[in-house]
């Protein structure tokens, strides 16, 4: 008996150590992602600051002269207040204070989902690890990390309903969607699996007997679909109410901007994560194809997620999560004994240990406020912004798309000409700005450049070289990152 007990304890310890190792690797991936890789974090910080100062959410754009007076909704306002609070507490390190627990929380949720679907411990660890590798390019300080977490929690609820048939569990979706709608606009993605799960019996009945009225009777008898309008109502519990759907329509109407913004472009398969996502998709398709009985939800879920993810880099997580879910659904379930010793308490303890290990890794590699500030100075025009501020150069300011978010944060007294909020500026204006910065014909006639009193230019951009020869501007400052030009006084 004692020997058996010791053997079981040794197995439990090995499982916990394996899980902890995966969490430590995930923390390492998260810490190794550049703190400056995502320029939008700056305007998110500034938006949170604006909301805290004014005690309300903005209805029009307060940060750019091109968007001044135009309707603009801070649909991620709750996320922006969160990261502002973290910034005030820990400075630039707040990026990791936010990312580490959210990323590990995503892995915990995915692991629990695979456990619910009857996967063995090692199989669940393997699928979870593949999912982590597929989303490594997305480990940036953006609200989409919280979207991934909430989406995975939604799948827990939906699959529990699908297995048990209990409508009561669907009520948990109401607070989930209410929270989600205040964090990120991608709450709209949550309606895809929800609609597929609750209407699956009706879809299958229709596919079996398309010319029969029986599927119509099934629809009337099936009450779970009523959760859809209630979830829609829950998303209106925001400061913007129905207007929260306006950015959704704006983004769906933009197509040309997908060519210029990296996160909006389709996968180019120059990153290993793209190949892993493709492999998971093909694996899931193979699992569906070899099943003798095909259910509507897995097939439609894979098709919908692939359509989203192969359209834009930032949505790769959708097909990765859908694929591992479908793979798990198609695999035979195993005995609970393979998870023996992995209790919820121990899972939470491993989560906390993972966060502690991440802190130790950060100290080991000197990832702190000073090193992060140095990294920012190598990428952003920190010194140039300081010169503009100290010398009191007035606007209008002309800046590149990628630096607009930083100037919103660093130079709040100068409205920017352009930043990463693509739905505010429109495709035509973004295209014109990018053409000017690339020195394409007609750059000298750019109305915003002609109206600018101050230009802060990336020294590597063609426009910077052209402005050196432009008689309308004087070069007043330059370093290895940026150059500052001032408009000459008219005689």
Compute CA 272 distance to the chain's CA centroid, rounded to the nearest angstrom. 19
Give CA–CA dist 272/367, Å, rounded. Answer: 25
Classify residue 416 by its DSSP letter. B
Of 306, 333, 362, the residue at which a domain comes to its end is 362
In the block, tokens 């609070």 appear at 85
Residues 345 and 460 in one domain: no
Give CA–CA dist 359/223, Å, rounded. Answer: 48
Q: How many CA atoms lie within 13 A of 239 on its CB side?
A: 15
Residue 265: both structure tokens together = 């472009």
Residue-range definition of the domain harbouring residue 230: 2-32+73-362
Give CA–CA dist 284/272, Å, rounded. Answer: 19
What is the pTM (predicted TM-score) of this model?
0.90
Residues 91 and 159 in one domain: yes
Q: Please, which residues have CB within 8 angstroms of residue 489's CB and are 6 or more apart in sequence? A: none
Residues 357 and 401 in one domain: no
Of 327, 362, 397, the residue at which a domain comes to its end is 362
Which residues are paired to 285 by β-bridges? Answer: none
Residues 318 and 188 in one domain: yes
Summarised one tens digit per residue, pLDDT across range 4-24 is 555 556 666 777 777 788 877
Summarised one tens digit per residue, pLDDT across range 316-338 is 999 999 999 999 988 777 666 66
Summarised one tens digit per residue, pLDDT across range 427-450 is 888 889 999 999 999 888 988 998
Residue 399, domain member (yes or no) = yes
Contact indicator for 202, 257 with CB cutoff of 8 Å: no
Residue 56, domain member (yes or no) = no
Residue 222 in this model has a pLDDT that exceeds 60? no
Residues 350 and 236 in one domain: yes
Contact indicator for 190, 150 with CB cutoff of 8 Å: yes
**pLDDT band, very low/low/confident/very high, at 220 (cuts 50, 70, 90):** very low
Residues 313 and 432 in one domain: no
Residue 405, domain member (yes or no) = yes
Give CA–CA dist 286/267, Å, rounded. Answer: 21
Residues 432 and 329 in one domain: no
Summarised one tens digit per residue, pLDDT across range 228-272 is 899 999 999 999 999 999 888 888 777 766 676 777 778 888 888
Residue 375, domain member (yes or no) = no
* Cα radius of gyration rounded to whole Å, the chain: 25
Residue 45, domain member (yes or no) = no
Residue of 441 and 370 predicted with greater confidence:
441
Cα–Cα distances (Å) from 282 to 275, 276, 301, 302, 312, in that order, read 10, 10, 14, 10, 18
Residues 123 and 179 in one domain: yes
Q: Angle at Cα 339 formed by Cα 338 and Cα 342, nearest 5°? A: 150
Of 312, 329, 362, the residue at which a domain comes to its end is 362
Residue 412, domain member (yes or no) = yes
Mean pLDDT across the chain:
85
Residue 47, domain member (yes or no) = no
Summarised one tens digit per residue, pLDDT across range 126-142 is 999 999 999 988 888 88
Summarised one tens digit per residue, pLDDT across range 376-413 is 888 899 999 999 999 999 889 999 988 999 999 999 99
Residues 296 and 393 in one domain: no
Question: What domain count does the chain have?
Answer: 2
What pLDDT, on the 0 to 100 scale, is given for residue 10?
A: 66
33-50: burial string, b at 16+ Cβ within 10 Å, e else: bebbebbbbbbbbbbbbb
Residues 185 and 226 in one domain: yes
Give CA–CA dist 187/78, Å, rounded. Answer: 13
Summarised one tens digit per residue, pLDDT across range 188-212 is 999 999 999 888 877 776 666 655 5
Residue 68, domain member (yes or no) = no
Return the percentage of the chain with pLDDT > 70, whole number: 89
Give CA–CA dist 280/320, Å, rounded. Answer: 6
Residues 440 and 384 in one domain: yes
Residues 475 and 358 in one domain: no
Q: Please, which residues have CB within 8 angstroms of residue 24's CB and are 6 or more apart in sequence? A: 354, 357, 358, 361
Residue 122: both structure tokens together = 């090692």
């Amino acid at each position: 008996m004692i020997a058996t007990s010791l053997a079981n304890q040794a197995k439990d310890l090995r499982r916990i150590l394996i899980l902890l190792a995966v969490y430590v690797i995930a923390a390492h991936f998260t810490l190794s992602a550049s703190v400056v890789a995502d320029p939008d974090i700056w305007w998110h910080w500034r938006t949170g600051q604006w909301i805290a100062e004014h005690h309300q959410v903005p209805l029009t754009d307060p940060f750019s002269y091109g968007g001044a007076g135009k309707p603009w909704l801070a649909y991620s306002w709750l996320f922006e207040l969160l990261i502002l609070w973290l910034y005030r507490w820990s400075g630039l390190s707040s990026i990791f204070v936010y990312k580490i627990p959210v990323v590990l929380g995503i892995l915990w949720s995915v692991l629990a989902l695979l456990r619910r679907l009857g996967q063995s411990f090692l199989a669940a660890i393997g699928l979870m690890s593949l999912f982590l590798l597929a989303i490594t390019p997305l480990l940036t300080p953006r609200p989409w990390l919280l979207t991934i977490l909430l989406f995975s929690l939604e799948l827990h609820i939906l699959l529990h309903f699908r297995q048990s048939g209990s409508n009561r569990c669907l009520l948990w979706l109401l607070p989930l969607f209410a929270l989600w709608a205040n964090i990120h606009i991608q709450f709209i993605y949550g309606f895809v699996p929800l609609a597929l799960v609750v209407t699956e019996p009706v879809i299958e009945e229709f596919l079996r007997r398309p010319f029969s009225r029986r599927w119509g009777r099934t629809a009337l008898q099936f009450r779970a679909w009523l959760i859809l309008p209630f979830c829609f109502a829950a998303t209106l519990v925001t400061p913007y109410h129905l207007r929260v759907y306006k950015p959704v329509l704006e983004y769906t109407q933009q197509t040309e901007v997908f060519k210029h913004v990296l996160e909006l472009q389709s996968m180019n398969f120059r990153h290993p994560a793209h190949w892993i996502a493709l492999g998971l998709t093909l694996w899931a398709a193979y699992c569906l194809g070899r099943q003798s009985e095909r259910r509507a939800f897995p097939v439609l879920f894979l098709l919908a997620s692939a359509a989203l993810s192969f359209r834009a880099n930032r949505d790769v997580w959708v097909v990765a999560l859908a694929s591992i879910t479908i793979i798990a659904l198609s695999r035979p379930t195993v005995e609970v004994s393979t998870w023996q010793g992995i209790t919820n308490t121990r899972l939470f303890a491993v989560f906390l240990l993972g966060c502690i290990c991440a802190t130790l890794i950060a100290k080991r590699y000197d990832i702190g406020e000073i090193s992060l500030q140095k990294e920012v100075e190598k990428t952003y025009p920190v010194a140039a912004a300081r010169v503009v501020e100290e010398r009191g150069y007035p606007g209008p300011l002309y800046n590149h798309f990628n630096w607009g978010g930083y100037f919103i944060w660093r130079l709040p007294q100068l409205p920017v000409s352009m930043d990463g909020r693509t739905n505010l500026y429109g495709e035509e204006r973004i295209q014109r700005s990018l053409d000017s910065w690339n020195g394409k014909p007609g750059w000298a006639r750019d109305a915003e450049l002609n109206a600018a009193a101050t230009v802060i230019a990336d020294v590597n951009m063609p426009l910077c070289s052209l402005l050196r020869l432009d008689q309308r501007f004087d070069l007043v400052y330059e370093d290895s990152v940026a150059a500052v030009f001032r408009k000459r006084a008219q005689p």
